Homo-oligomer: A and B are copies of this chain.
Amino acid sequence: MFDTRMAHETAEACDPATSIAATRLHTASERTSLCLADLFADTGAPVAAGASLTDLRFPLRRVRCGESLFRAGDRFESIYIVRAGFFKTTRVQSSGVEQIMAFPGRGDALGLDGVGSGRYRTDVCALDTGLVAVVAFDQLQALAGTHPAIDRLLHLLFAREMTEQQQMICLLGTLMADARVAAFLLHLSGKFARFGQSPTAFLLRMTRQEIGSYLGIKLETVSRSLSMLAAAGLIRVSHRSIMLVDLGGLRDLVAPRSTGAAPRRLAQKALRPRRSPVPRRFAQASAYA
């Protein structure tokens, strides 16, 4: 149908098992712990000048493909900063239905949802061989007084997670299937770019079912959407190999700029102060006569 040899080779070159990331992983595996400065670097947090960031050590933990880092209900003791590899975060609802909440990668924090209750609320499982820095939370809190940078780092991680979840809510609340898949691909693209890999050609680490669970659609719909995006010339797909051909077209699908006047009208309406929507004299209403 189309010549994907180039896409194929490019994706191959970006496979973390073979390329730059592999070197990083190798380098990292020679160390057994990280310092605060490493965490700041990994998470992309702005580094405070003059702070002593090298005296605290955080052990590294290797997680093999398919292993779980922690499970929902486990006692909360540490948060984790991903150094290498991809993970999936799953939440099991009371009904037994489970949903994938995120696909964390390098620089992302894991386990923050356990802070409030003392227990993790999600399962985290490695999609390939992963490496995480283990950050004991009570140790972190104890040192927060002498290291103001710790608080800032923690707040940044919280805020980042909240922002990402807000974007997810908007995606699930407003976009239809094709646009969700396009947004997902752009999201991955940005992640790979931050890892120093190609933002336009990569291999998916997860199945169609996992993508569908994440995006709130069925696996068949994911497959169909990918095929439609390919038919529209925006991407190229062959199983797990993805090539983004038209980034602008993908963005337009996620955030169409020709969707007209409705948004502006809504914004204006929001500006105008509203009268109380709750009737003050509700007792005198005649609806119940």
Residues of chain A touching chain B, judged by Cβ–Cβ distance below 8 Å, are: 4-5, 8, 11-12, 15, 17, 64-67, 90-99, 101, 112-117, 121-123, 125, 127-129, 141, 144-145, 148, 151, 154-156, 158-163, 165-166, 168-170, 172-174, 203, 205-207, 213-216, 238-241, 254-257, 259, 263-264, 266-267, 270, 272-280, 282-283, 287-288
Known interface pairs A158-B162, A273-B65, A275-B65. Does A101 touch B288 (Cβ–Cβ under 8 Å)? no
- Which of B160, B240, B274 lies in contact with A65, CB distance below 8 A? B274
The distance in angstroms between the C-alpha atoms of A255 and B259, with both chains bound, is 36
* Chain B nearest CB, measured from A169 CB (Å): 5
* Chain B nearest CB, measured from A105 CB (Å): 13
Do B169 and A92 touch (CB < 8 A)? no
- Which of B255, B273, B288 lies in contact with A64, CB distance below 8 A? B273
29 chain-A/chain-B pairs, Cβ below 8 angstroms = A5-B288, A8-B282, A8-B288, A90-B270, A95-B255, A95-B259, A95-B263, A97-B170, A97-B174, A98-B270, A99-B173, A115-B156, A116-B155, A116-B156, A116-B163, A122-B166, A125-B270, A127-B274, A145-B148, A154-B155, A161-B162, A165-B169, A169-B169, A173-B213, A203-B282, A238-B287, A238-B288, A240-B278, A241-B282
Do A17 and B278 touch (CB < 8 A)? yes
Q: In the complex, which residues of chain B have a beta carbon less than 8 angstroms from the beta carbon of A127? A: 274, 277
The distance in angstroms between the C-alpha atoms of A156 and B207, with both chains bound, is 35
Do B165 and A165 touch (CB < 8 A)? yes
The chain B residue with its CB closest to the CB of A212 is: B173
Q: In the complex, which residues of chain B have a beta carbon less than 8 angstroms from the beta carbon of A117? A: 159, 163
Closest 9 CB pairs of A and B: A116-B159, A96-B263, A66-B273, A95-B255, A173-B216, A172-B172, A66-B274, A165-B165, A115-B159
The distance in angstroms between the C-alpha atoms of A213 and B266, with both chains bound, is 12
14 more contacts with CB within 8 A, not counting A97-B263, A173-B215, A206-B277, are A17-B280, A65-B276, A92-B263, A96-B267, A99-B169, A112-B159, A113-B163, A115-B158, A122-B166, A127-B277, A128-B277, A162-B162, A207-B277, A240-B279
